[in-house]
Amino acid sequence: MRRLTVFLCVFCLACKKEEPYTPQQLSPVPAIELISVNPASVRQLTDTLVFVISYTDGDGDLGDYHADSLSLWITDLRFPLTIRYHIPPLAPAETSIPITGELRAVLSGIILKDEQATSEQAVFTIRLKDRAGHWSNEVFSPPIVILP
């Protein structure tokens, strides 16, 4: 009987209650990362730049149904000149779910600031705003060569 009691005590101590799984809480403030910018050099007014941006948002309120809502901002730091883009909703508006993914933004009409220059380098910043008005972190592109 004593062996059975010791066995049951050891058995009970060895068992541990499993905690229910809860996913890691993500911030409701969007976070972005620049995956790539291509090409590394462009001819003014003819070539386009393609930015690939990854995003994470804890409550899924990125994008908007209203086309007037311009929530992706790319700024050419030489001027500064900001181009704003509309992003359609990336998750249903009625839900509050964490989302991650990638966005592509195409920038065209890039010009030389100095018309006499044989080339210039341009750095771009990118940031994103959700429907609640939270701004993401700001990311910087590598220098892009602008050619005549």
Rounded mean pLDDT, 91-97: 85
Q: What is the pLDDT of residue 24?
A: 56
Evaluate if residue 68 carries a pLDDT over 90. Answer: yes
Which residues sit opposite 72 in a β-bridge?
Answer: 85, 128
pLDDT for 93: 77
Residue 27 per-residue DSSP state: P
Task: Please determine, for residue 9, whether its predicted confidence score (pLDDT) is greater than 80.
Answer: no
pLDDT score of 12 more than 60: no
Residues 6+ apart with CB under 8 A from 69: 86, 131
pLDDT of residue 7 exceeding 70: no
Residue 53, classified by CB atoms within 10 Å of its CB into exposed (0-12), middle (13-18) or buried (19+), is buried
Would you kindly state where each structural domain of the chain is located, as residue ranges?
A: 25-147
CA distances from 122 to 48, 70, 108 (A): 13, 23, 14
pTM above 0.85, yes or no: no
Q: Which residues sit opposite 127 in a β-bridge?
A: 73
Distances in whole angstroms, Cα of residue 24 to Cα of each of 17, 32, 67: 20, 18, 33
Specify the pairing of strand 144-147 against strand 41-43.
Answer: parallel
Domain over 25-147 is classified CATH 1.10.274.30: no
Question: What rounded mean pLDDT belongs to the chain?
Answer: 87
- For the ranges 20-29, 107-116, 134-143, which has the lowest average pLDDT? 20-29
